[in-house]
Structure 1
Amino acid sequence: MTRYSHNPEAVAALVQPHQVHRDVYIDPEIFALEMKHLFANTWVFVGHDSQTPARGDYITTQIGTAPVIMVRHTDNEIHVLHNRCPHKGTKIAIDRAGNTGKFFRCPYHAWSFKTDGCLLAIPLKKGYADTGFDQTEAARGMRPVGAVRNYRGFVFARLAPEGIGFDEFFGDSLSSLDNMVDRSPEGRLEVAGPPLRYMHRCNWKMLVENQTDTCHPMVAHESSAGTAVKIWEKTDWPADKPKPMAMEIIAPFMSPYEFFENMGIRTWPNGHGHTGVHHSIHSDYSAIPGYLEKMVAAYGEERAHRILGENRHNTVYFPNIMIKGPIQQLRNFIPLGPDRTLVESYIYRLVGAPDQLLERTAMYNRLINAPTSMVGHDDLEMYERAQEGLHSDANVWVNLQRLYPGAPEDFDETVVENGTTERQMRNQFHAWAKFMTCSMSTTQEAAE
Structure 2
Amino acid sequence: MPTPLDTPAATAADMPPHALWRGDRVHKRVYTDPAIFELEMDRVFGQAWLYVGHESQVPRTGDYFTTRLGREPVVMLRHSDGEVHVLYNRCPHKGAKIVPDGSGSAGKFLRCLYHGWTFKCDGSLLSVPLRSGYEDTSLDLKDPQNGVRRLARVATYRGFVFASMAAEGPSLPDFLGGVATSLDNFCDRAPEGEVEVAGGVQRVIQRNNWKIFFENLHDTVHAVATHESSWRAAKEEYASMPEGTPKPFEIVIVDGNGEPLEFWEKLELKGYDGGHGYMEGIFTPPQDPVSLAYVAALEASQGATRADEILRVNRHNTIVYPSCSPHTSFQQIRVIRPLAVDRTLVEIFTFRLKGAPDSTFQRALKYTNVVNSPSSNVMPDDLEAYNRVQEGLGSDGGDWVSLQRAAGRDQSLPGGCSSNGNSEMPMRNMFRAWAGYMAPKGQA
Query: Could you state the TM-score of these two structures normalised by the residue count of structure 1?
Result: 0.92
Alpha-carbon contact 1:266-1:417 (below 8 Å) kept:
yes
- Distance in 1 between the 2:32 and 2:427 partners? 18
1:160 positional shift? 1.1
Q: 1:25 aligns with which of 22, 28, 31?
A: 31
1:231 positional shift? 3.0
Name 1:196's counterpart in structure 2: 202
- Distance in 2 between the 1:274 and 1:136 partners? 48
Name 1:100's counterpart in structure 2: 106
Name 1:417's counterpart in structure 2: 419
Encode CA deviations 1:238-272: one digit per residue, 9 max, x unaligned.
41x43222112111111111111111101111101
- Distance in 2 between the 1:98 and 1:14 partners? 43
Q: 2:277 aligns with which of 258, 268, 273?
A: 273
How many residues are matched? 434
Q: 2:353 aligns with which of 344, 350, 374?
A: 350
1:134 positional shift? 1.8
1:75 positional shift? 0.4
Encode CA deviations 1:409-430: one digit per residue, 9 max, x unaligned.
9898322211111111111111
Alpha-carbon contact 2:9-2:36 (below 8 Å) kept:
no
Identity percentage of aligned residues: 43
1:141 positional shift? 1.0
Matches within 5 A, 1:109-128: 109-128=115-134
1:133 positional shift? 1.3
Alpha-carbon contact 1:133-1:139 (below 8 Å) kept:
no
Name 1:435's counterpart in structure 2: 437
- Amino acid corresponding to residue 54 of structure 2 in structure 1: H
1:185 positional shift? 0.8
- Amino acid corresponding to residue 432 of structure 1 in structure 2: W
Which region of structure 1 is more displaced relative to structure 2, 70-79 or 19-28? Answer: 19-28
- Distance in 2 between the 1:434 and 1:200 partners? 26
Name 2:284's counterpart in structure 1: 283
Q: Does 1:237 align with 2:238?
A: no
Name 1:151's counterpart in structure 2: 157
- Distance in 2 between the 1:138 and 1:432 partners? 35
Name 1:446's counterpart in structure 2: none
Encode CA deviations 1:36-93: one digit per residue, 9 max, x unaligned.
1211211110001111111100000011121000000000110000111112222112
Encode CA deviations 1:128-157: one digit per residue, 9 max, x unaligned.
212221289884311110111111111111
Encode CA deviations 1:188-244: one digit per residue, 9 max, x unaligned.
1011121111111111111111100000010000012222222322x13341x4322
Task: Label 1:319 to 1:250 Cα distance change in 2 as closer, same or farther (>3 A).
Answer: same
Alpha-carbon contact 2:249-2:285 (below 8 Å) kept:
no
Alpha-carbon contact 1:86-1:138 (below 8 Å) kept:
no
Q: Does 1:370 align with 2:368?
A: no
Name 2:405's counterpart in structure 1: 402
- Distance in 2 between the 1:298 and 1:364 partners? 25
Q: What's the secondary structure of 1:41's corresponding residue?
A: coil
- Aligned-residue RMSD, C-alpha: 2.1
- Distance in 2 between the 1:184 and 1:236 partners? 34
- Amino acid corresponding to residue 420 of structure 2 in structure 1: N
- Distance in 2 between the 1:91 and 1:137 partners? 21
Name 1:385's counterpart in structure 2: 388
Q: What's the secondary structure of 1:196's corresponding residue?
A: strand
- Distance in 2 between the 1:180 and 1:50 partners? 15
Alpha-carbon contact 1:56-1:71 (below 8 Å) kept:
yes
1:172 positional shift? 2.0
- Distance in 2 between the 1:426 and 1:107 partners? 48
Q: What's the secondary structure of 1:356's corresponding residue?
A: helix
Q: 2:265 aligns with which of 256, 261, 264?
A: 261
Encode CA deviations 1:255-297: one digit per residue, 9 max, x unaligned.
1111111111011111011111xxx223353351322222222
Q: Structure 2: which 5+ residue stretches go unaligned?
A: 1-7
Encode CA deviations 1:417-446: one digit per residue, 9 max, x unaligned.
1111111111111111112237x469xxxx
- Distance in 2 between the 1:135 and 1:294 partners? 55
Name 1:445's counterpart in structure 2: none
Q: Does 1:247 align with 2:251?
A: yes
Name 2:4's counterpart in structure 1: none
Alpha-carbon contact 2:16-2:439 (below 8 Å) kept:
no
Q: What's the secondary structure of 1:39's corresponding residue?
A: coil
Q: 1:299 aligns with which of 275, 279, 302?
A: 302
Q: Structure 1: which 5+ residue stretches go unaligned?
A: 443-448
Query: Could you state the TM-score of these two structures normalised by the residue count of structure 2?
Result: 0.93
Task: Label 1:68 to 1:12 Cα distance change in 2 as closer, same or farther (>3 A).
Answer: farther
Q: Does 1:160 align with 2:163?
A: no
Name 2:314's counterpart in structure 1: 311
- Distance in 1 between the 2:128 and 2:192 partners? 45
- Distance in 2 between the 1:210 and 1:291 partners? 31
Q: 1:131 aligns with which of 137, 140, 153?
A: 137
- Distance in 2 between the 1:295 and 1:74 partners? 33
Q: What's the secondary structure of 2:306's corresponding residue?
A: helix
Task: Label 1:293 to 1:90 Cα distance change in 2 as closer, same or farther (>3 A).
Answer: same
- Distance in 1 between the 2:63 and 2:300 partners? 34
- Distance in 1 between the 2:262 and 2:143 partners? 59
- Amino acid corresponding to residue 397 of structure 2 in structure 1: A
Name 2:336's counterpart in structure 1: 333
